């Protein structure tokens, strides 16, 4: 066979930034919109590093109408001298060579930085169809431009500094549409990142401008005092707070630890961890150190005050974290992350440092403020009591689960396929729609679970109350993966969980209640991309013998205008009040057939915003929800 020849000609060497363009996901996580956002964050993070080093006081982020992004700072500017190793300008070296930057040594580089590998800005360059880098040093303006990561010319000095800029850097780039599947930058995501940095970096002014948006046509100024304390205040502004904000900030060796925390009456926690101002979505050693210190310190205080007897069961981590909002921010010289996207901090020594600092400072706080300490203990012991009830409820679900020897819910029509990757579970509203779905489905790969009535609002109740609801209990048992601390995603029976409700207000409400349950108690299913929303039609329109299935009123208006322009007469039109009105063949054709259906995948672009939205819309506090309704009432569409 020809392809058996494996010799020196089979070895391909990718030079320069070719490797990044060839395998972009290895460097920026994905080729979706998340990857586009990542290359923007890499440039912003470089400006932040200048701020952390004490040389930058202002950072401007702009998005132009054509999707070009610009990040400007007033730091020191990128050095322009000839680099001794590459024999090219230092600026070109930084922009075109992987693992090149001021974050490895100690000679005038960065002691504290979010970058580690020196691949960030060069990846941005590689994955942009165009990029220009401008460096201002002592009022002299230097520039170099690139196409797909390759320089268009050698670094040059401009005669006129028309911007009258003393020092700083301007990075301008356009994400490459031939690399990324979606380059439509989500402004609120970038603004969230900018605000995040403004909270964590004191005395820095940020501006954000988006020419594509009416709201941000004029630069939006962002400046916060108070660091992590201000961040917690913002996160908890619409919650009932049980304590004041506890603020800890301390230098240890070459590291700085800052923690701000506050207890609320919520039943979930919200902890965000950062290393050198980089958000670590999966936590890491700093978060582990914080959790360990929190659990031990509160247990020790409870025993010391006699509230918890020596022979009694201690408080668990879940108990002491219920209702807690916390920002854990560390700054260290040599951060070790998992991957270029920095999802998790790995420095082992950081765990010990954070644990010791939080233990010492929190113990002192509890002793100095006994009233606050009592509020915390009341909250955590209530959580302990609820945990014991919740444990019994979870274990009952597991005992009834199919994989633990029990039986599946009676109304579940299961599929014959046993491979989860090929199996789909449709959650259907009501027995009528369930009947049509069961008859119309592909029995090999599609399972149907009808839910009658509305599930409980999971945002307002702990897990024991939630699992008393038969609908959500059946749903959990059908999934087969357990829940909360019994959850095991390897036991999940379906990798497509499709919520299929009526295309009306009641259907949307049930959909929201199910998503709330999944977000609060089975979030890994959403994070893995296993949750979908079906798109059933609202109208069936027949014109000149051709059938059109329309999913909403906007689509209907477009079709009606198109038929009118073509002078095509509509012979019949039907509006479906529910899925039960469709016969099995129609339901299969429009909504269930994998070859022709449209599914909306549910994902979490922004954990912080998602958490606040669920809490505001579904939580116990009425004023934030009332305010939201008042602000959005005029733009709301009412289905009568």
Residues 69 and 215 in one domain: yes
Whole-number average pLDDT of the chain: 84
Strand pairing report for 270-275 and 324-331 = parallel
d(CA 402, CA 400): 7
Please answer whether residues 343 and 281 qualify as being in contact, where contact means their C-beta atoms are separated by less than 8 angstroms: yes
Query: Averaged over 474-503, what is the pLDDT?
Result: 89
pLDDT at residue 405 tops 50: no
Residues 158 and 106 in one domain: yes
pLDDT at 453: 79
Annotated catalytic residue, options 504, 555, 589, 621:
504
Query: pLDDT band for position 98 (50/70/90)?
Result: confident
Please answer whether residues 80 and 91 qualify as being in contact, where contact means their C-beta atoms are separated by less than 8 angstroms: yes
Over residues 45-90, the pLDDT tens digits come to 899 888 888 899 999 999 999 999 999 999 999 999 988 888 889 9
Residues 179 and 265 in one domain: no
Please answer whether residues 493 and 478 qualify as being in contact, where contact means their C-beta atoms are separated by less than 8 angstroms: yes
Cβ-Cβ contacts under 8 Å for 56 (sequence gap 6 or more) = 47, 50, 73, 74, 75, 168, 204
Answer whether residue 34 is part of any domain.
Answer: yes
Query: Averaged over 512-541, what is the pLDDT?
Result: 89
Over residues 143-178, the pLDDT tens digits come to 999 999 999 999 999 987 677 789 999 999 999 999
Please answer whether residues 158 and 143 qualify as being in contact, where contact means their C-beta atoms are separated by less than 8 angstroms: yes
Over residues 254-281, the pLDDT tens digits come to 889 999 999 999 888 999 999 988 888 8
**What sign has the CA pseudo-torsion 92, 93, 97, 100?**
negative
Query: Please, which residues bridge with residue 533 across strands?
Result: 499, 600
pLDDT at 152: 96
Cβ-Cβ contacts under 8 Å for 359 (sequence gap 6 or more) = 293, 296, 297
Q: Given 190, 205, 222, which residue is the final one in a domain? A: 222
Q: Which residue in the block uniquely carries the two structure tokens 């099995």? A: 584
pLDDT at residue 215 tops 60: yes
> Percent of the chain, pLDDT > 90?
43
Query: Averaged over 296-320, what is the pLDDT?
Result: 90
Query: pLDDT band for position 640 (50/70/90)?
Result: very low
Annotated catalytic residue, options 92, 196, 429, 615:
429
Residues 216 and 196 in one domain: yes
181: left (phi over 0), alpha (psi -120 to 50) or beta: alpha
Answer whether residue 159 is part of any domain.
Answer: yes
Over residues 368-379, the pLDDT tens digits come to 999 999 999 999
Answer whether residue 339 is part of any domain.
Answer: yes
Residues 452 and 481 in one domain: yes
Residues 412 and 526 in one domain: yes
Burial class (CB in 10 A: 0-12, 13-18, 19+), 380: buried
Query: Averaged over 393-415, what is the pLDDT?
Result: 66
Query: Averaged over 99-112, what is the pLDDT?
Result: 53
Q: Given 388, 422, 450, which residue is the final one in a domain? A: 388
> Percent of the chain, pLDDT > 70?
85
pLDDT at 16: 64
Q: Which residue in the block uniquely carries the two structure tokens 């207890």? A: 263
The residue ranking higher by pLDDT, 401 or 514, is 514
316: left (phi over 0), alpha (psi -120 to 50) or beta: beta
Per-position DSSP letters for 184-214, written without gaps between them = ---HHHHHHHHHHHHHHSTT-EEEEEETT-S
Query: pLDDT band for position 43 (50/70/90)?
Result: very high
Model pTM score: 0.65
- The CATH number covering residue 457 comes to 3.40.50.670
Q: Which residue in the block uniquely carries the two structure tokens 């009341």? A: 378
The residue ranking higher by pLDDT, 2 or 427, is 427
Answer whether residue 372 is part of any domain.
Answer: yes
The residue ranking higher by pLDDT, 279 or 615, is 279
Q: Given 388, 419, 446, which residue is the final one in a domain? A: 388
Answer whether residue 314 is part of any domain.
Answer: yes
Residues 128 and 83 in one domain: yes
- The CATH number covering residue 280 comes to 3.30.230.10
Answer whether residue 549 is part of any domain.
Answer: no
Query: Please, which residues bridge with residue 266 across strands?
Result: none
Query: Averaged over 472-479, what is the pLDDT?
Result: 90
Residues 505 and 625 in one domain: yes
Residues 334 and 356 in one domain: yes
Answer whether residue 429 is part of any domain.
Answer: yes
pLDDT at 271: 94
Nearest partner of 508 among 589, 432, 583, 578, judged by Cα? 578
Query: pLDDT band for position 116 (50/70/90)?
Result: very low
Answer whether residue 574 is part of any domain.
Answer: no
pLDDT at 47: 92
Residues 53 and 175 in one domain: yes
d(CA 413, CA 553): 33
- The CATH number covering residue 116 comes to 3.30.565.10
Is residue 429 flagged as an active site residue? yes
pLDDT at residue 611 tops 70: no
**What sign has the CA pseudo-torsion 92, 95, 100, 106?**
positive
Annotated catalytic residue, options 424, 502, 611, 615:
502
d(CA 28, CA 303): 48
Domain that holds residue 308: 228-388
Ordered alpha helix ranges (H), 201-247:
228-235
d(CA 361, CA 303): 18
Nearest partner of 499 among 490, 508, 491, judged by Cα? 508
Strand pairing report for 205-210 and 220-222 = antiparallel
Please answer whether residues 570 and 539 qualify as being in contact, where contact means their C-beta atoms are separated by less than 8 angstroms: no
pLDDT at 11: 43
Burial class (CB in 10 A: 0-12, 13-18, 19+), 396: middle
Q: Phi and psi (nearest 5°) for 98? A: -65, 150
d(CA 201, CA 204): 6
Residues 328 and 234 in one domain: yes
What is the distance between the terminal CA atoms of the chain, rounded to a whole angstrom? 68
Annotated catalytic residue, options 256, 265, 506, 581:
506
Query: Averaged over 494-506, what is the pLDDT?
Result: 87
Query: Averaged over 583-602, what is the pLDDT?
Result: 89
The tally of domains found in the chain comes to 3
Please answer whether residues 347 and 332 qualify as being in contact, where contact means their C-beta atoms are separated by less than 8 angstroms: yes
pLDDT at residue 411 tops 90: no
Please answer whether residues 542 and 514 qualify as being in contact, where contact means their C-beta atoms are separated by less than 8 angstroms: no
Q: Which residue in the block uniquely carries the two structure tokens 């059109």? A: 548
Is residue 254 flagged as an active site residue? no
Query: Averaged over 407-431, what is the pLDDT?
Result: 89
Residues 208 and 233 in one domain: no
pLDDT at 394: 64
């Amino acid at each position: 066979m020809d392809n058996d020849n494996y010799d020196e000609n089979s070895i391909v060497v990718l030079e320069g930034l070719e490797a990044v363009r060839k395998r972009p996901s290895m460097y920026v996580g994905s080729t979706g919109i998340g990857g586009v956002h990542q290359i923007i964050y890499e440039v912003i993070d470089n400006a932040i590093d200048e701020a952390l080093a004490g040389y930058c006081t202002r950072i401007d982020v702009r998005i132009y109408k054509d999707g070009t992004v610009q990040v400007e700072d007033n730091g020191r500017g990128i050095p322009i001298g000839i680099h001794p190793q590459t024999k090219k300008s230092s600026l070109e070296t930084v922009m075109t060579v992987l693992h090149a930057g001021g974050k490895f040594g100690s000679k005038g580089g960065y002691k504290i930085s979010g970058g580690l590998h020196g691949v960030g800005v060069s990846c941005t360059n590689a994955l942009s169809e165009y990029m220009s880098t401008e460096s201002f040093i002592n009022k002299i303006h230097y520039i170099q431009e690139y196409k797909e990561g390759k320089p268009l010319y050698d670094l040059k000095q401009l005669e006129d500094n028309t911007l009258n800029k003393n020092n700083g850097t301007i990075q301008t780039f356009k994400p490459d549409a031939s690399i990324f599947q979606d380059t439509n930058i989500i402004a609120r995501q970038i603004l969230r990142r900018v605000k995040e940095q403004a909270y964590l970096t004191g005395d820095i002014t940020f501006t954000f401008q988006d020419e594509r948006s009416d709201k941000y046509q004029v630069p939006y100024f962002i400046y916060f005092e108070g660091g992590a304390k201000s961040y917690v205040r913002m996160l908890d502004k619409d919650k009932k707070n049980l304590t004041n904000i506890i603020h800890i900030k301390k230098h240890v060796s070459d590291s700085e630890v800052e923690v701000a925390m506050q207890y609320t009456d919520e039943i979930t926690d919200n902890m965000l961890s950062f290393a050198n101002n980089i958000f670590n979505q999966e936590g890491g050693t700093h978060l582990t150190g914080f959790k360990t210190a929190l659990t031990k310190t509160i247990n020790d205080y409870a025993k010391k005050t006699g509230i918890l007897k020596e022979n009694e069961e201690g408080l668990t981590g879940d108990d002491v974290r219920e209702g807690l909002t916390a920002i854990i921010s560390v700054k260290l010289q040599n951060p070790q992350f998992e991957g270029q996207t920095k999802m998790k901090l790995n420095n082992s020594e950081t765990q010990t440092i954070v644990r010791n600092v939080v233990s010492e400072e929190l113990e002192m706080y509890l002793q100095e403020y006994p009233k606050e300490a009592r509020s915390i203990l009341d909250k955590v012991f209530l959580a302990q009591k609820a945990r014991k009830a919740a444990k019994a409820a979870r274990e009952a679900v597991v005992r009834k689960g199919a994989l633990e020897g029990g039986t599946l819910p009676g109304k579940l029509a299961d599929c014959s396929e046993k491979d989860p990757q090929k199996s789909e579970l449709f959650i259907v509203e009501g027995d009528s729609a369930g009947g049509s779905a069961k008859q119309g489905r592909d029995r090999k790969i599609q399972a149907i679970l009808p839910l009658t009535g509305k599930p409980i609002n999971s945002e307002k109740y702990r897990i024991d109350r939630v699992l008393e609801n038969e609908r959500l209990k059946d749903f959990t048992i059908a999934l087969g993966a357990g829940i909360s601390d019994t959850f095991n995603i390897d036991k999940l029976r379906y990798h497509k969980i499709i919520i299929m409700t009526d295309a009306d207000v009641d259907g949307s409400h049930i959909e929201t209640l199910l998503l709330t349950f999944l977000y609060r108690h089975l979030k890994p299913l959403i994070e893995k991309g296993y949750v979908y929303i079906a798109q059933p039609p609202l109208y069936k329109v027949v014109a000149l013998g051709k059938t059109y299935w329309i999913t909403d009123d906007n689509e209907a208006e477009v079709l009606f205008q198109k038929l009118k322009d073509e002078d095509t007469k509509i012979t019949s039109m039907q509006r479906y009040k529910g899925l039960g009105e469709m016969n099995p063949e129609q339901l299969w054709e429009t909504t269930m057939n994998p070859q022709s259906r449209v599914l909306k995948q549910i994902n979490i672009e922004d954990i912080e915003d998602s958490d606040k939205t669920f809490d505001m819309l579904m939580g116990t506090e009425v004023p934030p929800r009332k305010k939201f309704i008042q602000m959005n009432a005029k733009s709301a569409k009412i289905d009568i």
